[in-house]
């Protein structure tokens, strides 16, 4: 196909980078022109990820070695703090889809308080668009720099934003119980993700201090029109991929569970990747594994006046690389579902 967009993946040796390559290789309007990974520079991609063999991919290199004049768009999957330094020095003609945390928080001071280092690309931060596709599609279409949301915020915000915007739940009394597969912790060696440490068990982490909480609060506060603080606790589950969030809230006076269901149906009726589970079906991570879909539902609590809301997604696809590719499609005016039509893997 002619007129393919030439893309680079910076940080291609991580789980996010690998999943982006897996999706991009079948995209009809993408040509993978450069893959970077400093620790693996000079190696073929298949030596790092054998499942990507026989795809004729570029050899991994350092990002300084890339000829950016031959690139149209770059996906950046580097760790926070590193990503902003690389993006700051990229040529102006590039469309940039950042999958790191560096441009998600609109306030540079909040970024420093959350991530422990000052933002070194404040001017770029001012032009970055938050990449929650279903809620910022028009802005994404005009943007040069997209800040893709974190996996937990993608699940929680997709579920909660329509309800908070409509005033159906008390946004000052939100509890978000979140659980993720181990790929959410990255590919680096960490004691708590060793099989002997994480297998056959479940554990909370970053209790009352997880870095995704300010991101969730930022977007919910915009929807509510007032500053909010949420109760957010993440957990690690001994599975490779998948994410489930269970949220608890008080209904505002005069509203019912059915109003919440109606609001979600109305908000996402025409969205290809957001689905309400059929009546009586509880969202499972197995329902979305490997796909770019979010499935959700709302249930009346046994406590009068309260609701239980559940959403599931694949943290590496809709929670990361899939949403990044979805934003690429919007930025370049392609059909939004291109490269993302995979049905969930089950069992």
Which of the residues are catalytic?
A: 151
Q: What are 172's two structure tokens? A: 């000052």
5 by Cβ neighbours in 10 Å (0-12 / 13-18 / 19+) ranks as middle
Three-state secondary structure of 216-248: HHHHHHHHHCCCCCCEEEEEECCCCCCEEEEEE
Q: Name the residue among 128, 135, 176 with its Cα closest to residue 309.
A: 176
Residues 281, 127: Cα–Cα separation, whole Å: 41
Residues 223, 284: Cα–Cα separation, whole Å: 27
Residues with Cβ within 8 Å of residue 254, at least 6 apart in sequence: none
Q: What are 243's two structure tokens? A: 């994410």
Question: Which helix (H) or strand (E) segment is 260 a member of?
Answer: helix 257-268
């Amino acid at each position: 196909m002619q007129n393919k967009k030439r893309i680079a993946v910076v940080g291609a040796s991580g789980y996010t980078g690998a999943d982006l390559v897996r999706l991009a290789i079948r995209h009809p309007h993408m040509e993978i022109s450069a893959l970077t990974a400093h620790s693996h520079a000079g190696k073929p991609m298949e030596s790092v990820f054998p499942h990507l063999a026989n795809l004729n991919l570029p050899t991994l290199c350092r990002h300084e070695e890339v000829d950016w004049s031959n690139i149209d768009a770059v996906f950046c999957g580097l760790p926070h703090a590193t990503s902003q330094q690389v993006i700051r020095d990229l040529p102006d003609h590039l469309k940039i889809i950042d999958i790191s945390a560096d441009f998600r928080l609109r306030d540079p001071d909040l970024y420093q308080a959350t991530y422990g280092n000052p933002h070194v690309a404040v001017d770029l931060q001012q032009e970055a668009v938050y990449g929650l596709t279903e809620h910022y599609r028009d802005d994404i279409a005009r943007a040069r720099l997209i800040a893709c949301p974190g996996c937990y915020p993608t699940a929680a915000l997709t579920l909660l934003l329509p309800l908070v915007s409509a005033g159906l739940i008390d946004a000052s009394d939100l509890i978000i119980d979140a659980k993720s597969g181990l790929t959410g912790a990255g590919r680096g060696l960490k004691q708590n993700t060793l099989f002997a440490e994480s297998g056959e068990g479940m554990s909370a982490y970053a209790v009352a201090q997880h870095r995704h909480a300010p991101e969730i609060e930022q977007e919910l506060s915009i929807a509510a029109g007032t500053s909010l603080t949420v109760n957010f606790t993440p957990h690690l589950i001994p599975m490779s991929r998948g994410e489930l969030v269970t949220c608890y809230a008080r209904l505002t006076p005069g509203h019912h569970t059915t109003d919440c269901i109606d609001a979600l149906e109305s908000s996402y009726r025409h969205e290809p990747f957001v689905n309400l589970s059929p009546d009586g079906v509880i969202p499972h991570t197995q329902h979305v594994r490997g796909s770019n879909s979010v499935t959700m539902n709302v249930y009346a609590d046994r406590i009068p006046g309260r609701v239980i809301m559940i959403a599931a997604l694949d943290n590496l696809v809709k929670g990361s690389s899939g949403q990044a590719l979805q934003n690429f499609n919007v930025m370049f005016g392609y059909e939004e579902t291109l490269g993302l039509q995979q049905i969930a893997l089950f069992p």
